[in-house]
């Protein structure tokens, strides 16, 4: 009898354990997810080795989309740890500093003041922070604080903190929207930073005219939160510097920034307004912003370089390059550079620069090339040289007015196949690369059956005039780019699907 | 606190622990305290006064009758107590009318106002109502009458009787138990694995029906009903045919949870549903749907009416005039009319009497009248009445009959009910005929995705499979218990996952109350 009872108890215990583990896994899969990579940003923060960061930067997307920590490390050996998420409520700053202090010991904290000019958002502002934090007392304290603060200033809205404690209650219905990043690591987030390639132009003169505009009060609740935080800083014992990253917002926001800056300075704290240093940073208002609120990757690289330089000069930070515990920065740097090149590869319209990207990405990719019609009238020696660097020794034969068919495959930097047609002959080639069936053809004379790069059952080339290039990630099989450069056109125009 | 909320399940865990952890003597006292705590958390505590009044009256009357019987002039005494008993029942009914029946009074006046404009509609101010008033009132009336009929022994302990009335799982949607069916409330119970397992499984099944199936069907039904001018034609047919499924999943799901909760305490409640959509006739349907209300109405309304002196006399007269069959039919019709009137009133709205009660009274009497004639016709034409096809046809016909009547349960008033039925009828006119909505993604305008539709379809298949199994072999869980442990566990984990992932709960959902919780 006793044995039966014990057997039952053990049986139930095992079952309960399986259920709990299953639930924990589900809780992880069905977590917060949006296009700002906040889940990955927190995950990567928690995975950082202990006591590696000299600087921590807390803020909203005004930090997250501006700072590339890996670049800082590569250029100056600065170990900066961002903990920044889109629309992060300012009143979360204090407890997030506590979260950082659990595993890091930075000597300097940077705190961005951008979101003081905005009305706080309940969801998703709170959720981006609390739903992604590890289970701890600090998390529950943060939920209580943020929901209480919200309720104090928004009595009509009703936030049930229970929903924030158990975020699964909200996200269980995400079964309809699950994606790859719910099950695997987010490959597009690098120490909180994510690549953005969009561009929007702004009138630099006009934006700069807003910098010294007369103050306008920030929202009442943010005044309270700012003063509370300044009270915290008074007793904190570490250096805290407030920042304002470059942006193209309307005049009223700069007026509010000026209001906030004054309060902070009156309390004896330093404010580093980078808007006043845009020329030093080298920001181009025509190409470096992706909207009023954020720079794109080109802009972020410039801001990162500037910030790193300033941090080293002002605060005499140690150069950590080569240290064992900073390997994490090197690992993310490698991943970031690859993804960055892939992102800009698919935007590049200049053949010369495109070939530079191909050279950078040759390891880990398979590059397919085929030609159609008159090819080489405007191929330059520089183009040919770069093609040769890829290993394509016969590419020189394409230069000029003659018609040639041409097929080439370069995989992991190694030329697997290269054919140039003789006397107007067309070329075809078929093979298997890994598990992928490859069929290629190239017509020397326009009007024949055209050119083709077929991978599996899918046609991947554009079949346009000139050189058609398809770039495939070797590991995943994902097509990174399919492009055509018309080398018979004086401008060597570029075509991608969707912009014919 | 609803019985699908996390707070209820936390309460339940605590309740089961408290129930079993202490010595089993006076367990019923702990159960009563738990019921009072539940009441305090789920309803306005002051309204428990009504429960106390009804219970107090029943306790006094039944014990008075018992001691009256034992006295010398027992018969005379009993007459007095019978009068008092009737008075207490009248007070119970009055209380119900005063509190729950307000809407009935207002909607009845409104309905009559449509027919006779001179009748004024009086809006009665709202009052706080006792939780489960419709259910415990019928329970206490059945107890009182059973004691009078000597079918049950009066409970001497007032608190035990209070527990019978207020046993917390039943307070939401019943079932309506008889006194002898709940005698186990006062016994001692030891913790048994099988009760905990079966109870939990039953709760899980109920949750699946309510928050996975019913809530999803509700999205479509509510969208169509919110604007069936815009969503006319085939949309109305979709809502018409989906509403019974929603209602069944909601109500029977709640009953499953209630029965499962009671099972955790080793209390067996009666079943309230038995695969109603497998019914071949409407009569059979009402023997399978809300069984406890049906049997209550049969035992305490229909049979007393049929056995009443007046109706017996009428039966005799009619027999002499029209023959035995006709007399039986007419007297049954009268008895059934009273039964359906009472059921309509119990549901608390005028539209229930006009729509649901009247409709089913007509259907049931028609069925009764046509039964011998249709049997002859079937035999004459050689229909294979034993075949699956024939039974399927009859089940579909019964379902459709139910769907049409239950429109008035869904409608906010009689006029809207008829308006909806008119739209249903107009579907086959050129201006409303719109079958393309089934193919061109129009259905997604109702606020539902194809994934949700797939969930409904798969869930319905699961419900049918379980129901078919029960029809032939009894409860599926008994068969599952005989299977290897890995199979059992996988099945229940799959059910748990379905509830946890697919259920309509949490922020972003306004979880609708149980439809039958309003009674």
Maximum CA pair distance of chain A? 95
User: Is residue A344 a part of any domain in this protein?
Assistant: no
Q: How confident is the model at residue B98 (pLDDT cuts 50, 70, 90)?
A: confident
Q: How far is A32 from chain B (nearest CA, A)?
A: 14
| Alpha carbon distance, N-terminus to C-terminus of chain A | 80
A479-485 and A466-473 strand pairing = antiparallel
Name chain A contacts of B504, Cβ cutoff 8 Å: 173
Touching check for A15 and chain B: CB below 8 Å? yes
Q: Check whether residue A20 and residue A67 sit in a common domain.
A: no
Q: How confident is the model at residue A185 (pLDDT cuts 50, 70, 90)?
A: confident
Locate A95 and state its tokens: 């407890």
Around B389, how many Cα atoms within 13 Å sit in the side-chain half-sphere?
2
Q: Find the helix packing angle between B450-473 and B215-226, rounded to 10°.
A: 120
Q: Which of A444-448, B231-235, B438-442 has the lowest mean pLDDT?
A: A444-448
| Alpha carbon distance, N-terminus to C-terminus of chain B | 17
- What percent of chain A is helix, strand and coil (3-state, nearest 5)? 45, 20, 40
Domain final residue, candidates A293, A312, A338: A338
Q: Check whether residue A152 and residue A250 sit in a common domain.
A: yes
Nearest-angstrom CA–CA distance, A171 and A256: 36
Averaged confidence pLDDT in chain A? 91
Q: Check whether residue A179 and residue A213 sit in a common domain.
A: yes
More confident residue, A106 or B115: A106
Name chain B contacts of A168, Cβ cutoff 8 Å: 506
Do A176 and B451 lie within an 8 Å CB cutoff? yes
Give yes or no for a contact between A398 and A370, defined as CB atoms under 8 angstroms apart.
Answer: no
Q: What is the mean pLDDT of residues B198-225?
A: 94
Query: Which residues 6+ apart lie within 8 Å of A236 measured at CB?
Result: A97
Touching check for B484 and chain A: CB below 8 Å? no
Do A15 and B489 lie within an 8 Å CB cutoff? yes
Residue B171, pLDDT above cutoff 70: yes
Q: How confident is the model at residue A217 (pLDDT cuts 50, 70, 90)?
A: very high
Touching check for B10 and chain A: CB below 8 Å? no
User: Is residue A279 a part of any domain in this protein?
Assistant: yes
Residue-wise DSSP of A324-370: GGGHHHHHHHHHHHHHHHHHHHTT---HHHHHHHHHHH-TTEEEEEE
Q: Check whether residue A248 and residue A318 sit in a common domain.
A: yes
Do A26 and B506 lie within an 8 Å CB cutoff? no
Q: Check whether residue A150 and residue A292 sit in a common domain.
A: yes
Q: What is the mean pLDDT of residues B193-203?
A: 93
Nearest-angstrom CA–CA distance, A433 and A410: 11
Q: How far is A88 from chain B (nearest CA, A)?
A: 21
Q: Check whether residue A152 and residue A109 sit in a common domain.
A: yes
Instruction: Name the residue among A391, A383, A384, A420 with its Cα closest to residue A403.
Output: A420
Residues B184-199 as b/e (b if ≥16 CB within 10 A, e otherwise) read ebbeebeeeeebbbbb
Instruction: Name the residue among B287, B277, B205, B274 with its Cα closest to residue B241.
Output: B277
Measured between alpha carbons, how far is residue B468 from residues B85, B476, B488 in Å?
44, 9, 19
- What are the φ/ψ torsions at residue A244 (nearest 5 degrees)? -140, 110
Averaged confidence pLDDT in chain B? 89
pLDDT in tens, A329-358: 999 999 999 999 999 999 999 999 999 999
H-assigned helices in A184-282: 204-208, 220-236, 251-266, 278-281
Query: What does the angle CA A33 – CA A38 – CA A40 come to, to the nearest 5 degrees?
Result: 90
Instruction: Name the residue among B175, B174, B177 with its Cα closest to residue B164.
Output: B177
Do B501 and A30 lie within an 8 Å CB cutoff? yes
Which of A11, A22, A170 shows the shortest C-beta gap to B507? A170
Restricting to A residues 18-37, those with a Cβ less than 8 Å away from any Cβ of B are 19, 22, 26, 30
Q: Check whether residue A334 and residue A451 sit in a common domain.
A: no
Give residue limits of the domains in chain B: 6-172, 191-273+437-519, 279-410
A80-84 and A108-112 strand pairing = unpaired
Nearest-angstrom CA–CA distance, B348 and B107: 9
Q: Find the helix packing angle between A220-236 and A93-103, rounded to 10°.
A: 30
pLDDT at B512: 53
Name chain B contacts of A11, Cβ cutoff 8 Å: 485
Q: How many CB atoms lie within 10 A of CB A414?
A: 11
Give yes or no for a contact between A316 and A55, defined as CB atoms under 8 angstroms apart.
Answer: no
Touching check for A160 and chain B: CB below 8 Å? yes
Touching check for A177 and chain B: CB below 8 Å? no
Do B493 and A22 lie within an 8 Å CB cutoff? yes
Q: How confident is the model at residue B364 (pLDDT cuts 50, 70, 90)?
A: very high
pLDDT at B230: 86
pLDDT at A459: 93
Touching check for A173 and chain B: CB below 8 Å? yes
Touching check for B507 and chain A: CB below 8 Å? yes
User: Is residue A451 a part of any domain in this protein?
Assistant: yes
pLDDT at A376: 83
Domain final residue, candidates A285, A309, A338: A338
Residue-wise DSSP of A461-482: S---SEEEEEEEETTT--EEEE
Touching check for B500 and chain A: CB below 8 Å? yes
- What are the φ/ψ torsions at residue A395 (nearest 5 degrees)? -60, -25
Touching check for A172 and chain B: CB below 8 Å? yes
Cis peptide bond prior to A124, omega within 30° of 0: yes
Name chain B contacts of A30, Cβ cutoff 8 Å: 501
Do B500 and A26 lie within an 8 Å CB cutoff? yes
Touching check for A489 and chain B: CB below 8 Å? no
Residues A122-131 as b/e (b if ≥16 CB within 10 A, e otherwise) read bbbbbbbbbb
- Residue carrying the six token digits 């009143």: A91
Q: Check whether residue A378 and residue A282 sit in a common domain.
A: no
Beta strands in B28-145 (DSSP E): none
Nearest residue in A to B6, CA atom: A169
pLDDT at A404: 81
As a dihedral over the C-alpha atoms of residue A307, residue A311, residue A314, residue A319, rounded to 10 degrees, the angle is -140
By three-state DSSP, how is residue A252 classified? helix
Give yes or no for a contact between A254 and A299, defined as CB atoms under 8 angstroms apart.
Answer: no
Touching check for A175 and chain B: CB below 8 Å? yes
Name chain B contacts of A126, Cβ cutoff 8 Å: none
Query: What does the angle CA B228 – CA B231 – CA B236 come to, to the nearest 5 degrees?
Result: 70
pLDDT in tens, A74-114: 999 999 999 999 889 999 999 999 999 999 999 999 999 99
Do A15 and B502 lie within an 8 Å CB cutoff? no
Do A175 and B501 lie within an 8 Å CB cutoff? yes
A239-244 and A108-112 strand pairing = parallel
Range of the domain at A369: 354-496
Nearest-angstrom CA–CA distance, A438 and A431: 5
pLDDT in tens, B116-160: 888 777 766 667 777 888 899 999 999 999 999 888 899 999 999
Q: Check whether residue A372 and residue A282 sit in a common domain.
A: no
List the single best residue of A5, A32, A175 to mutate versus B (max B Cβ within 10 A).
Answer: A175
List the single best residue of A12, A169, A174, A177 to mutate versus B (max B Cβ within 10 A).
Answer: A169
Query: Which residues 6+ apart lie within 8 Å of B266 measured at CB?
Result: B184, B189, B190, B192, B195
Nearest residue in A to B509, CA atom: A170
By three-state DSSP, how is residue B471 classified? helix
pLDDT in tens, B388-397: 999 999 999 9
User: Is residue A347 a part of any domain in this protein?
Assistant: no
Q: Check whether residue A321 and residue A440 sit in a common domain.
A: no
Give yes or no for a contact between B237 and B173, defined as CB atoms under 8 angstroms apart.
Answer: no
How many percent of chain B have pLDDT more than 70? Answer: 94
Do B503 and A176 lie within an 8 Å CB cutoff? no
A108-112 and A55-59 strand pairing = parallel
Nearest-angstrom CA–CA distance, A379 and A420: 16
Name chain A contacts of B489, Cβ cutoff 8 Å: 15
By three-state DSSP, how is residue B117 classified? coil
Flag whether the ipTM exceeds 0.85: no
List the single best residue of B507, B508, B510, B511 to mutate versus A (max A Cβ within 10 A).
Answer: B507
Nearest-angstrom CA–CA distance, B143 and B153: 9
Q: Which of A278-292, A443-457, B411-425, B477-491 has the lowest mean pLDDT?
A: A443-457
pLDDT in tens, A466-476: 999 999 999 88
Name chain A contacts of B498, Cβ cutoff 8 Å: none
Residue A500, pLDDT above cutoff 60: no
User: Is residue A349 a part of any domain in this protein?
Assistant: no
User: Is residue A313 a part of any domain in this protein?
Assistant: yes
Nearest-angstrom CA–CA distance, A87 and A75: 29
- What are the φ/ψ torsions at residue A34 (nearest 5 degrees)? -155, -175
Do A173 and B507 lie within an 8 Å CB cutoff? no
Locate B102 and state its tokens: 């307000």
Nearest-angstrom CA–CA distance, B144 and B151: 10
**Run of H or E residues at B498:** helix B485-502
pLDDT at A127: 87
Residue A134, pLDDT above cutoff 50: yes
Q: Is A438 left (phi over 0), alpha (psi -120 to 50) or beta?
A: beta
pLDDT at A157: 63
Residue A499, pLDDT above cutoff 60: no
Q: Check whether residue A390 and residue A246 sit in a common domain.
A: no
- Structurally, how many domains does chain A consist of? 3
Do A172 and B500 lie within an 8 Å CB cutoff? yes
Touching check for A11 and chain B: CB below 8 Å? yes
Q: Check whether residue A235 and residue A147 sit in a common domain.
A: yes
Q: What is the gyration radius of the CA atoms in chain B, in angstroms?
A: 25
Q: What is the mean pLDDT of residues A123-146?
A: 90
Instruction: Name the residue among A92, A86, A91 with its Cα closest to residue A227.
Output: A91
Query: What does the angle CA B447 – CA B448 – CA B452 come to, to the nearest 5 degrees?
Result: 160
Name chain A contacts of B211, Cβ cutoff 8 Å: none
Do B506 and A175 lie within an 8 Å CB cutoff? no
User: Is residue A346 a part of any domain in this protein?
Assistant: no
Name chain A contacts of B509, Cβ cutoff 8 Å: 173
Domain final residue, candidates A338, A363, A390: A338
Q: How far is A123 from chain B (nearest CA, A)?
A: 11
How many percent of chain A have pLDDT more than 90? Answer: 68
């Amino acid at each position: 009898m006793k044995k039966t009872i014990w057997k039952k108890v053990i049986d139930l215990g095992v079952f309960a354990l399986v259920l709990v583990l299953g639930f924990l896994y589900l809780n992880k899969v069905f977590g917060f997810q949006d296009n700002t990579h906040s889940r990955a940003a927190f995950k990567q923060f928690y995975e950082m080795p202990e006591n590696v960061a000299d600087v921590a930067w807390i803020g909203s997307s005004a930090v997250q989309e501006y700072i590339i920590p890996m670049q800082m490390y590569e250029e100056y050996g600065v170990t900066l740890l961002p903990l920044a998420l889109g629309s992060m409520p300012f009143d979360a700053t204090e407890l997030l500093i506590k979260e950082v202090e659990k595993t890091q010991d930075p000597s300097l904290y940077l705190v961005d003041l951008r979101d003081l000019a905005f009305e706080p958002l309940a969801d998703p502002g709170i959720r981006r922070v609390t739903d992604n934090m590890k289970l701890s007392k600090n998390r529950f304290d943060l939920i209580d604080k943020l929901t209480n603060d919200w309720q104090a200033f928004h009595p009509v809205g009703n936030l049930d903190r229970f929903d924030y404690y158990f975020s699964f209650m909200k996200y269980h219905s995400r079964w309809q929207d699950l994606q790859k990043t719910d099950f695997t690591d987010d490959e597009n987030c690098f120490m909180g930073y994510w690549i953005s390639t969009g561009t929007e132009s702004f009138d630099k003169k006009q934006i700069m005219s807003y910098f010294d505009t007369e103050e306008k009060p920030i929202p009442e609740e943010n005044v309270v939160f700012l003063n509370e935080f300044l009270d915290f800083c008074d007793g904190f014992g570490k250096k805290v510097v407030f920042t304002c990253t470059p942006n193209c917002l309307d005049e009223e926001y700069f007026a509010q920034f000026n209001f906030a800056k004054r309060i902070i300075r009156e309390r004896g704290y330093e404010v580093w307004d980078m808007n006043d240093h845009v020329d030093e940073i080298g920001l181009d208002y025509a190409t470096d912003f992706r909207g009023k609120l954020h720079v794109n990757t080109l802009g972020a690289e410039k801001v990162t370089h500037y910030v790193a330089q300033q941090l080293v000069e002002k605060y005499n930070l140690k150069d950590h390059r080569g240290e064992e515990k900073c390997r994490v920065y090197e690992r993310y740097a490698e991943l970031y550079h690859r993804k960055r090149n892939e992102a800009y590869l698919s935007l590049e319209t200049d053949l010369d620069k495109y070939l530079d990207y191909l050279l950078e990405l040759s390891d880990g990719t398979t590059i397919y090339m085929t030609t159609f019609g008159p090819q080489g009238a405007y191929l330059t020696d520089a183009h040919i040289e770069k093609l040769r660097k890829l290993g394509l020794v016969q590419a020189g034969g394409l230069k000029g007015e003659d018609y040639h068919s041409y097929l080439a495959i370069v995989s992991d930097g190694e030329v697997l196949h290269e054919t140039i047609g003789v006397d107007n002959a067309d070329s075809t080639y078929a093979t298997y690369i890994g598990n992928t069936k490859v069929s290629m053809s190239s017509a020397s004379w326009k009007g024949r059956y055209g050119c083709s790069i077929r991978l599996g059952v899918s046609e991947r080339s554009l079949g346009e005039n000139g050189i058609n290039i398809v770039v495939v990630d070797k590991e995943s099989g994902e097509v990174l780019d399919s492009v055509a450069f018309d080398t018979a056109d004086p401008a060597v125009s570029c075509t991608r699907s969707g912009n014919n | 606190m609803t019985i699908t909320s996390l707070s209820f399940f936390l309460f339940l865990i605590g309740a089961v622990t408290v129930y079993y952890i202490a010595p089993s003597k006076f367990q019923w006292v702990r159960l009563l305290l738990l019921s009072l705590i539940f009441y305090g958390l789920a309803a306005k505590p002051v309204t428990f006064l009504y429960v106390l009044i009804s219970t107090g009256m029943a306790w006094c009357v039944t014990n008075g009758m018992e001691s009256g019987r034992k006295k010398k002039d027992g018969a005379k005494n009993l007459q007095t107590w019978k009068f008092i008993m009737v008075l207490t029942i009248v007070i119970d009914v009055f209380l119900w009318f005063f509190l729950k029946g307000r809407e009935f009074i207002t909607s009845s006046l409104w309905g009559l106002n449509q027919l006779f404009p001179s009748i004024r509609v009086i809006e009665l101010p709202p009052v706080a109502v006792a939780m489960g008033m419709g259910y415990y009132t019928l329970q206490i009336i059945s107890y009182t009458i059973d004691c009078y009929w000597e079918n049950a022994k009066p409970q001497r302990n007032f608190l035990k009787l209070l527990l019978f009335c207020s046993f917390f799982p039943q307070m939401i949607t019943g079932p309506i138990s008889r006194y002898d069916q709940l005698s186990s409330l006062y016994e001692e119970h030891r913790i048994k694995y099988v009760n905990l397992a079966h109870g939990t499984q039953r709760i899980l099944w109920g949750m699946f029906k309510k928050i996975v199936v019913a809530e999803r069907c509700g999205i479509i039904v509510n969208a169509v009903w919110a604007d069936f001018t815009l969503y006319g034609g085939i949309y109305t047919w979709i809502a018409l045919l989906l509403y019974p499924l929603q209602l069944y999943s909601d109500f029977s799901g709640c009953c499953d949870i209630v029965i499962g909760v009671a099972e955790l305490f080793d209390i067996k409640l009666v079943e309230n549903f038995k695969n109603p959509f497998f019914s071949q006739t409407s009569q059979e349907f009402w023997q399978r749907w809300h069984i406890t209300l049906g049997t209550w109405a049969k035992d305490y309304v229909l049979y007393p009416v049929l056995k009443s002196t007046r109706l017996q006399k009428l039966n005799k007269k009619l027999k002499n005039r029209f023959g035995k069959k006709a007399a039986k039919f007419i007297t049954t019709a009268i008895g059934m009319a009273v039964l359906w009137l009472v059921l309509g009133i119990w549901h608390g709205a005028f539209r229930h009497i006009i729509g649901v009660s009247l409709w089913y009274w007509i259907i049931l009497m028609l069925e009764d009248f046509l039964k011998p004639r249709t049997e002859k016709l079937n035999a004459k034409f050689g229909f294979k009445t034993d075949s699956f096809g024939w039974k399927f046809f009859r089940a579909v016909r019964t379902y459709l009959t139910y769907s049409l009547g239950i429109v008035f349960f869904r409608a906010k008033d009689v006029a809207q009910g008829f308006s909806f039925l008119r739209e249903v009828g107009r579907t086959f006119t050129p201006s409303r005929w719109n079958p393309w909505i089934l193919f061109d993604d129009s259905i997604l305008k109702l606020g539902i995705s194809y994934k949700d539709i797939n969930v409904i379809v798969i869930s319905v298949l699961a419900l049918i499979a379980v129901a078919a199994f029960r029809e032939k072999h009894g409860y599926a869980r008994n068969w599952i218990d005989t299977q290897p442990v890995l199979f059992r566990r996988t099945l229940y984990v799959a059910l748990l996952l379905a509830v946890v992932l697919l259920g309509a709960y949490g922020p972003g959902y306004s979880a609708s109350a149980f439809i039958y919780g309003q009674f």
